[in-house]
Amino acid sequence: MSELNLRLEAINPVEFYGINNSNLTQIEKFFPKLKIIARGDNIKVIGDDEELRQFEAKFTAISNFFQKFQHLSEGDVTHLLSNNLELSPEPGAAADDVIVYGQGGILVKARTPNQRKMVESISKKDMIFAIGPAGTGKTYTAVALAVRSLKNKEVKRIILTRPAVEAGEHLGFLPGDVKEKLDPYLQPLYDALHDMIPHEKLISLMETGIIQIAPLAFMRGRTLDHAFVILDEAQNATESQLKMFLTRMGRSAKFIVTGDITQIDLPKNQPSGLVEGIKLLSKIKGIDFIFLDEKDAVRHELVQQIVNAYGKK
């Protein structure tokens, strides 16, 4: 008799085993000759070598499925055990366009040519700027790329930041402490993460600092190593703030800066750091600039028409 020890990496054991361990029971029924002992994220399997080899192959297929789609039903387990195939909720989807598999089997993918440019560029460059109007998927694509890098263990943490600049409103009028005042400005980043990571797992990653969301001012003095860092709404950063942010870059880091230079909320006498940054940094070979436009709009069909209307003003 031999022994095989496996570990559920970055997987919630409760969700993986199913309600009342229903998924685990399905696996045990498929391998009646093996003794399977599951304790938390550790699984010990005892049996002969050939059975253990088959078990490991099937178990890997099931684990990969769960990590991709963030869910696992008894039917999924039965199908995977019987066929050793990974299910796809969108048959025929272009695999190259898929960035990450979100909750409930949602495929988060590059949907436009310029979004694909973002995906291609970040694989070659450590810093990219994605600039374009509202609704073109800049932030969402950037967050998906960050989540993919974390899942693939290419980075150790994700850091998401935004300038806390009011769009016609004032922080002082909002109720609550500093965090409660700032959270509304960071909500789009939370929304994107919730699409891609299960709620409990996201809370855990944030509590342990693996995912951090903070206002731009909190970046001062930091050196960001082994991190995927996104500066969103960069058009509302001043030149000194943008310089401060970009110089936080440490070893083995990826930086994405997103912004819309048609929606600057800074005071009229305060130039946008993003506009200045485009002029100053565009000739640096290690930095890519991707300019998205109304053709990249992925929200409601009216968004593209609205962007066009304001562009003609």
Could you please state the CATH topology (level 3) that the domain comprising 2-83 is classified under.
Answer: Ribosomal Protein S8; Chain: A, domain 1 (3.30.1370)
The dotted CATH code for 95-311 is 3.40.50.300
Compute how many other C-beta atoms are within 10 angstroms of the C-beta atom of residue 172. Answer: 7
- pLDDT of 257 reads 97
Tokens of 102: 């979100």
Tokens of 17: 């085993």
Confidence of residue 93 (pLDDT cuts 50, 70, 90): very low
Do residues 309 and 148 lie in contact, with contact meaning Cβ atoms separated by under 8 Å? no
Pick the more confident residue, 87 or 186.
186
Range in 46-50, 281-285, 305-309 with the lowest mean pLDDT: 305-309
Per residue in 182-222, pLDDT (tens digit) is 677 778 888 889 888 888 888 999 999 999 988 888 898 89
Identity of the highest mean pLDDT range in 55-59, 170-174, 237-241, 298-302: 237-241
- pLDDT of 4 reads 92
In the chain, domain spans:
2-83, 95-311
Task: Decide whether 2-83 matches 95-311 in CATH topology.
Answer: no
Q: With 50 as the cut, is the pLDDT of residue 272 above it?
A: yes
- pLDDT of 63 reads 85
CA trace torsion 27, 29, 35, 39 (10° rounding): 40
Calculate the average pLDDT of the chain. Answer: 84
